[in-house]
Amino acid sequence: MNRHALAERIRIESQILAFVREAMIVALQAPITTKVAPQWAERSRFLIDSFERHVSRLFRIKWEVDDQFLISTTENPGLIDDLVQLEAQERELSLELRDLGLEARGLAPDNVANLYAYRQRALGFLERFDEIRLRECKIWLDAFEIEIGGEG
């Protein structure tokens, strides 16, 4: 697959993921009362499942370019180290996201305290996810500067 087609797939999946992420934040931050707890739990399950599917899809697409990308970074071993560390962090995120999905499927709407605790874990996950995505952007920008021979 050529780079433009791969970049387009990444762009589309990233855009979908951004929409699902925003929906998750809105849903997670909605008030939780005993009256709306069943709907809150159902929304959380639906959105975490969707988020998990899109993250998995995005990670699979991104690492299809791994070999091509590593070839262009052989002049900068530090960049390769950053990529290896990023991939490890993404694997950890995937495991944490899977656990959040499993937890969401077991949420009991009659236990509002657990729903609040789940909300905090899910929002904390989204923060870590965003931090790693920002780090990833920096790595790609650094690689692009090296590839085109510029330094800023």
- Tell me, what amino acid is at 102? L
pLDDT at 139: 80
Q: What is the mean pLDDT of each run of 10 residues along the chain (152 residues)?
A: 77 93 97 96 96 91 64 64 85 94 94 96 97 86 61 53
Global pTM reads 0.84
Residue 51 CA to residue 46 CA, distance in Å, equals 9
Residue 89 CA to residue 129 CA, distance in Å, equals 9
- Per-domain residue ranges for the chain? 3-148
